[in-house]
Structure 1
Amino acid sequence: MSTTEADTVNDTAGRWGQRPGTREGWLERAQDVAALLATDAVARDRAGATPHAEVRLLKESGLVTLLGPVEHGGGGQTWSTAYEVIREVAKGDGSIGQLLGYHYLWAWAVRLVGTDAQIDAVERLYTESDLFFGGAVNPRDSDVVITDEGDEIVYTGRKSFSTGSKVSDLTVLEGVLEGTDKHIFAIVPSDQEAIVYGDDWDNLGQRLTESGSVEINGVRVPWASAAGYVDKEFQPLVYNTLNTPTIQLVFANFYLGIAQGALDAATSYTKEKTRAWPFGGDDKDSVTEEFYVLDAYGDLQAKLWAAEALVDRAGERIEGLLHAERASVTAEQRGAAAVLIAAAKERIVATGLEIATKIFEVTGARATSNSTGLDIYWRNLRTHSLHDPVAYKRVEVGRYTLLGEIPEPTWYT
């Protein structure tokens, strides 16, 4: 898609034709969306406005229904495509790549823990109506309390993070049934009086993810909508625990997209604006002849290709489990996939932060101008890569390598 100065995220009506029918078509659509987002990503980041227009873009382009069943109007694609789409969108805007990645995870949550009837109902609902998911599930906070009121359960509590919050149509809630250790997921409408958003997301990076706090003041849910529960009892499967490795690889993919976007932006700036250094005793006519510039870009590109290969390998491994018969997934399969994802995440965090820092050495002092906006990549990567300590990912890989231990499922593993 060619862009012009008139193209903005707010002006997308009529842009999109028939939705793609192939993997290649969906990736091209994601590239088109990313190109549009990139035209004013820095300005939108600086403004920090609630990304209503950006989510409308994701809906109008069809990307929100990528994983939805074909029979309900969805793309019917697999997770390997979803991960690449997340990556492509994040090249244009890291915040929107995160929003889309979280949407895919929460849209899949009903498959992870729901009954067959719940899966069909939720996928039909969100796919046919192009609905967008957010989630109020933050394990570091105290559990949301659920009370049993006969035919209904009632959620009450607070979460300090709720990504997607005000721009979502549906919210995934999670809490613990009072007096028990039963965790219950439910999908509820986001726009209701019992859900109050704090409007307090004011962080260094990922500024457009609407990840602020949320108060849950008595959200009522029929027991029939308690995900995976039949007669108020849940029958666990290993498949239920795939939510964590799935979203950890969502992280790795939008980190990868941000890093790719950073390298692309830097190379463009270097070729167009950076000047050769005239005081080194070996003067060059062009910066593209500078040995230290060529060396730096070669090193960064090689590291990025290596990280991408590992992320893709991890995606192939988890995809095989996500699209398998749910009862067939074993703890060993799940653990091996989680270790590979931990390694991929660790590598792209390290590589991405190195790229986002070192690009200033090969673009020059003038590239630090606020109008250039190269700072956005480091800020975005630095902010979200603190989600959970990456050192624990290295330890998971170390235990697997040294002791043959697979990680136990947790909220972060």
Structure 2
Amino acid sequence: MSIAAPADWKTLPGPTDPEGWIKRATEVAAVLAVDAAARDRAGATPHEEIRLLKDSGLVTLLGPAEHGGGGQKWPTAYKVVREVAKADGSIGQLLGYHYLWNWAARLVGTREQWEQVEAAAARDRWFFGGAVNPRDDDVVVRDEGDTLVFSGHKSFSTGSKVSDVTVLEGVLDGTDKHVFAIVPSDSPGLTFNDDWDNIGQRLTESGSVTLDGVRTPWAGAAGYVDKEFRPRVYNTLNVPIIQLVFVNFYLGIAAGALETAAAYTRTRSRAWLHGGYEKATDEPYVIDAYGDLTAKLWAAEALADRVAEEGQPLHDDPDAVTPADRGRFEVRVAAAKAISTEVALEVTSRIFEVTGARATATGQGLDRFWRNVRTHTLHDPVAYKRREVGRYVLTGDLPEPTWYS
């Protein structure tokens, strides 16, 4: 399968405003949509898809403009993820995770560190992966003078073989201190095990990774100065940021499912023989279902956009973020996560009610939307997101920062 980017992406200046970047994402989605179902069935490593993201400039969206980046803010990045996910949920996830890991140096590191990383990433169009599964605590980091050595195993490493660089995380030997570092994905000792074989998000390269003495300079340990970590409240925004990424590719997948189903209903679905209507589009229950699902999706999208705008001031002045600011944002993200999960699962399962039995044919690929949402929404239990919101409403308690809250 071949994926071709429009030639003018390489010869013309890139977008300069949010609207232009969202339009570019829509163009990328149109390319991906052509053979999305076939690529999902093939499950091949998405090298060409990532090349498409690079050629389009989407990988540099959050990068500094002076180094060739898009110079955009997080609300635009979330919308871009949503647009790409409409066509291909796996590539939407990869892009969203890339944005977080590209941002990780700024999130956790010192100013000198993140300025260096962001300049290089924008200039060379790096694609980021991450081996930071917090439920695996078996990566140990040894201090060898000026060098850190990572050894162990992570169950998941999204982006693995298609990434240029990988964010590693482990615990400093003999302490409870976590260390993040960015290393080239072809570093000696870093082995991606190619064992991702799940029902959905098949192209995310999310299999396990083995770290066998992966070496990196102490200077690359994010946020450490003279081997001591300098904490900020802003460091803890990784969870609400990535959860809002989840929200947006869930909603993108749902929107793609609804658009694909509607096209099928308009062109191929047949009216029920006992209903008295000539066309499926005249069936009252079909009309009602599309209205119901669309209203729910639009409402969830509106909440996601509102929460993204509420969070942007935290990025605009990272040193001023307080625990209360962070906690309130996390509660709002939790609400969006709960609603987006519910809506995406409902949309992607109910589309079959309004497309008909023939729409279940493998070649149609409508099942991929549900499989993708069902797979990733199990990342962490949505009940715990509702609990964060409920506790805040009843007691005013804000969630304490953890790997999942």
- What range is the shorter-chain TM-score in? over 0.9
Q: 2:274 — aligned with what? A: 279
Structure 1: unaligned runs, 5 residues or longer: 1-7
Count of aligned residue pairs for this structure pair: 403
Shift of 1:124: 1.1
CA–CA distance in 2 between the matches of 1:182 and 1:9?
Answer: 45
What's the C-alpha RMSD, in Å, of the aligned pairs?
1.0
Q: 1:295 aligns with which of 264, 288, 292?
A: 288
Q: Residues 117-165 of structure 1: CA distance to partner in whole angstroms, max 9, x if unpaired?
A: 1111101111100010000000111241011101111111100100000
Matched, 1:63 2:55: no
Residue 198, structure 1, aligned to residue 193, structure 2: yes
In structure 2, distance between residues paired with 1:381 and 1:161: 18
**Preserved CA contact (<8 Å) 2:3 2:31:** no
Alpha-carbon spacing, 1:118–1:10, altered in 2? closer, same or farther (3 Å): same
Question: Does structure 1 residue 230 correspond to structure 2 residue 228?
Answer: no
- From 193, 202, 207, give the equivalent of 1:207: 202
- TM-score, normalised to structure 2, is 0.98
Deviates most, 9-18 or 62-71: 9-18
Report the TM-score, using the length of structure 1 for normalisation. Answer: 0.96
Partner of 2:324: 332
CA distance in 1, matches of 2:138, 2:121: 27
Is 1:313 the counterpart of 2:309? The answer is: no
Counterpart of 1:321, as a letter, is: L
Q: Which letter does structure 2 place at the counterpart of 1:75?
A: G
Q: CA deviation at 1:210?
A: 0.1
Aligned equivalent of 1:75, options 67, 70, 73: 70
Determine if the alignment matches structure 1 residue 241 to structure 2 residue 242: no
Contact residue 97 and residue 129 of structure 2 kept, 8 A:
yes
1:14 aligned to which of 7, 13, 25: 7
In the alignment, what sits opposite 1:408? 400
**Unmatched 5+ stretches in structure 2:** none
1:347 aligns with 2:342: no
The answer on whether the counterparts of 1:146 and 1:153 sit within 8 Å (CA) in structure 2 is yes
| Contact 2:3-2:32 within 8 A present in 1 as well | no
In structure 1, the residue matched to 2:254 is: 259
Aligned to 1:362: 354
Counterpart pick for 1:139 among 134, 139, 145: 134
1:218 alignment partner in structure 2: 213
**Cα distance in 1, alignment partners of residues 359 and 283 from structure 2:** 17
Give 1:18 deviation, angstroms: 2.0
CA distance in 2 between partners of 1:143 and 1:86 (Å): 31
Instruction: Return the letter of the residue paired with 2:351.
Output: I
Paired with 2:404 and 2:377, the residues of 1 have a C-alpha distance of 13
Determine helix, strand or coil for the equivalent of 2:153. strand
The 8 Å contact of residues 136 and 173 in structure 1, kept in 2 or not, is answered as yes
1:121 to 116, 124, 143: 116
Separation of aligned partners in 2, 1:201 and 1:14: 33
Residue identity over aligned pairs, in percent, reads 65
Q: Is the 8 A contact 1:19 1:62 kept in 2?
A: yes
- What's the offset of the Cα at 1:14? 2.3
Which of 315, 327, 333 is 1:322 aligned to? 315
- The structural deviation recorded for 1:9 is 5.0
Q: SS in structure 1 opposite 2:363?
A: coil
For 1:15 and 1:205, how far apart are their aligned partners in 2?
33
Q: Which amino acid aligns with 1:211?
A: S
Q: Superposition pairs for residues 383-394 of structure 1, below 5 Å?
A: 383-394=375-386
